[in-house]
Amino acid sequence: MRGEEPLCAEEVAARGAQGHEATAQATTKAGSHWRLTATIAVVVGLAFGGVALAQAPWLAPAGEKGKKNPLPADNASFDLGRKVAETNCVPCHGNRYRGDGPAAEALNPKPADWTSPRVQEQTEGELFWKIAAGRNPMPSWKHLPEKERWAVVRFIKSLKN
């Protein structure tokens, strides 16, 4: 620098060390600030974001509600529905179809209790549409033949308490 005597090696090293120390302190403070900001953002997101992630009521379209089950209310339809449900639905809905299958613990929302009034009060058309359409986390079962889906509806309706 002008007007100053040149620095000796020890002075250069000392000033350099002070500069690195100051930079490290500033970096640590900035890092702490960002960690605090990130932590607050996560907490706020969990506290209020869960509300935004909640699903609205699952309603079938009006045109689906009035559909009637074309299968007869006989043992063959019941047995087919039970067989399809045992194969495809038990992991989530459970052996007693109360929404307590082994996979249910990890699901949100929880699987429906097929014996509950909330399910039993739905029309056959509503249940058929929901089985076909699915809604996260429940998959669509459209790939099942229509007869099997209607048989599951017949089985669900047989579970009234």
Strand partners, 138: 135
Residues 151, 71 contacting (CB under 8 angstroms): yes
- The mean-pLDDT minimum among 9-23, 55-69, 114-128 falls in 9-23
**Count of domains observed in the chain:** 2
Question: pLDDT grade, residue 70 (50/70/90)?
Answer: very high
Kindly state the tokens that stand for 131.
């089985």
pLDDT score of 4 more than 80: no
Single-letter amino acid code for the residue at 144: L
To the nearest 10 degrees (0 to 180), the angle between helices 146-157 and 75-88 is: 100
Residues 74 and 144 in one domain: yes
Average pLDDT over residues 65-77: 97
- Of residues 110, 103, 108, 119, the one with CA closest to residue 156: 119
What domain range includes position 134? 62-157
Residues 81 and 152 in one domain: yes
Is residue 112 domain-shared with residue 80, that is, in the same domain? yes
Q: Which residue has the higher pLDDT, 23 or 108?
A: 108
**End-of-domain residue from the set 54, 75, 93:** 54
CB 68 within 8 A of CB 124: yes
Contacts 24+ apart (CB under 8 A), 86-94: 88/141, 88/144, 89/152, 92/137, 92/138
- Say which range, 13-22, 82-91, 98-107, has the weakest mean pLDDT: 13-22
Same domain (yes/no): 1, 80 = no
In this prediction the pTM is 0.67
Q: Which two tokens stand for residue 153?
A: 């509806």
Q: Are 151 and 106 part of one and the same domain?
A: yes
Is the same domain home to 82 and 137? yes
